[in-house]
Chain A
Amino acid sequence: MAIDTRELNTNALQAQGITIDPLDDTSMVVNMGPQHPSTHGVLRVVLELDGETITKAVCHIGYVHTGIEKSMEYQTYLKAVTNTDRMDYLSAHINNAAYTLSVEKLLGIEPPPRGQYLRVMLMEVQRIASHLVWLATHCLDIGAMTVFFYAFVQREKLLDLTEMMSGVRMMPSWIVPGGLRGDAPDGWLERAKEFCDGFPKALAEIEDLLNANPIWRDRTQGVGIISAEECLELGVSGPTLRGSGIAHDARKATPYSSYEDFKFYVPVGEYCDVYDRFRVRMAEMYQSREIIKQCIENMPTGPVNVDDRKIVPPPRRELDNSMEAVIHHFKLWTEGFHPPVGESYVPLESPKGEIGFYIVSDGTNRPYRAHMRPPSFMNLQALSKMCAGRLIADVVAVIGSIDIVLGEIDR
Chain B
Amino acid sequence: MATETETQERIEIQKIRDNFPEALLGVDTFRGDTRLLVKGENIVEICELFKNDPDLQYNFFSECLGVDYLDYRDGYRFEVVYNLYSLPYEKNGVKIGKNHRIFLKVPVPEENPTVPSVTSVYPAAEFPEREIFDMFGVRFTGHPDLRRILMPDDWVGHPQRKDYPLGGERVQFPENKLGPSIGEVAVQHPGESFVGKTGDAQGEAYRKR
Question: Assuming A74-B183, A233-B124, A381-B126, is B30 touching A344 (CB within 8 A)?
Answer: yes
Residues of B within 8 A of A (CB-CB), count: 55
Find out whether the CB atom of B59 lies under 8 angstroms from the CB atom of A232: yes
Is the CB of A363 closer than 8 A to any CB of chain B?
yes
A342 in contact with B31 given A335-B190, A365-B189 (CB within 8 Å): yes
Q: Which of B88, B187, B189, B207 is the one whose CB lies under 8 Å from A362?
A: B207
Note all chain B residues with C-beta closer than 8 A to A247. Answer: 89-90
A315 is an interface residue with CB less than 8 A from chain B: no
| Cβ 8 A contact of B103, one of A345, A354, A373 | A345
Give the distance in Å from the alpha carbon of A228 to the alpha carbon of B67 in the complex: 32
Among residues of A, the one whose C-beta sits closest to the C-beta of B31 is A105
B127 near A253 with CB under 8 A, answer no
CB-CB under 8 A from B33, the residues of chain A are: 343-345
B127, A363: Cβ atoms under 8 Å? no
- A278 in contact (CB, < 8 A): no
Pick the interface stretch among B108-116, B147-155, B171-179.
Answer: B147-155
In the docked arrangement, what's the CA distance between A380 and B130, Å? 14
Given contacts A74-B182, A341-B202, contact A235 B150 (CB under 8 A): no
C-alpha gap A360/B85 in the complex (Å): 19
Distance to closest chain B CB from A41 (angstroms): 14
Interface assignment of A167: CB less than 8 Å from any CB of chain B = no
Q: Report the Cα distance A110→B123, complex, angstroms.
A: 36
Q: Please, how many angstroms separate the alpha-carbon atoms of A232 and B65 in the complex?
A: 19
Which residues of chain A from 345 to 372 have a CB within 8 Å of any chain B CB? 345, 347, 354, 356, 358, 360, 362-365, 368-369, 371
Question: CB within 8 Å of A: which of B24-75?
Answer: 28, 30-31, 33, 35, 59-63, 65, 67-68
A172 → chain B closest CB, angstroms: 22
- In the assembled complex, the Cα of A356 lies from the Cα of B122 at a distance in Å of 19
Q: Shortest beta-carbon distance, B151 to chain A, in Å?
A: 6
Checking A233, A253, A331, A354 against B99 with a beta-carbon cut-off of 8 angstroms, the contacting residue is A253
Is there a chain B Cβ closer than 8 Å to A234's Cβ? yes
A217 within 8 A of B: no
Pair A108/B31 contact, Cβ less than 8 Å: yes
CA distance A234 to B59 in the complex (A): 10
The CA-CA distance from A410 to B198 in the complex, in Å, is 33
Tell me which residues across on chain B come within 8 A of A236, comparing CB atoms.
124
Chain B 155-187 interface 0/1 with A at a Cβ cutoff of 8 Å (1 = within)? 000011000001000000000000000110011
User: In the assembly, what is the distance between CA of A27 and CA of B60, in Å?
Assistant: 34
How long is the Cα–Cα vector from A214 to B207 in the complex, in angstroms? 61
CB of B192 within 8 Å of the partner chain: yes
A228 contacts B124, CB within 8 Å?
A: no
Interchain nearest-CB distance for A31 vs B (Å):
15
Cβ contact within 8 Å between A248 and B89: yes
- A65 near B63 with CB under 8 A, answer no
User: Closest residue of chain A to B145, judged by CB?
Assistant: A58
Alpha-carbon gap, A228 to B60, bound state (A): 12
Determine how close the nearest CB of chain A comes to the CB of B169; give it in whole angstroms: 11
Q: Which residues of B contact A338 (CB under 8 A)?
A: 198-199
B190 touches A334 (CB 8 A): yes
Q: A285 at the A/B interface (Cβ < 8 Å)?
A: no
A65 touches B123 (CB 8 A): no
From B31, B182, B190, B207, name the one whose CB has the most chain A CB atoms within 10 angstroms: B31
- Cβ of B93 within 8 Å of any chain A Cβ, yes or no, is no
- Tell whether A246 is near chain B: CB-to-CB under 8 Å: yes
Cβ–Cβ < 8 Å partners of B148 in chain A: 62
The answer, among B83, B126, B206, for a CB contact under 8 Å with A341, is: B206
By a CB distance below 8 angstroms, the chain B residues around A233 are 122-124
Interface pair A61/B150, CB less than 8 Å apart: yes
Cβ–Cβ contact A381 & B124, under 8 A: yes
Interface residues, chain B, CB within 8 Å of chain A? 1, 28, 30-31, 33, 35, 59-63, 65, 67-68, 81, 83, 85, 87-91, 99, 101, 103, 122-128, 148-152, 159-160, 166, 182-183, 186-187, 189-192, 198-200, 202-203, 206-207
Apart from A335-B190, A343-B30, 6 more pairs, CB < 8 Å: A67-B159, A235-B61, A248-B87, A253-B88, A253-B99, A365-B191
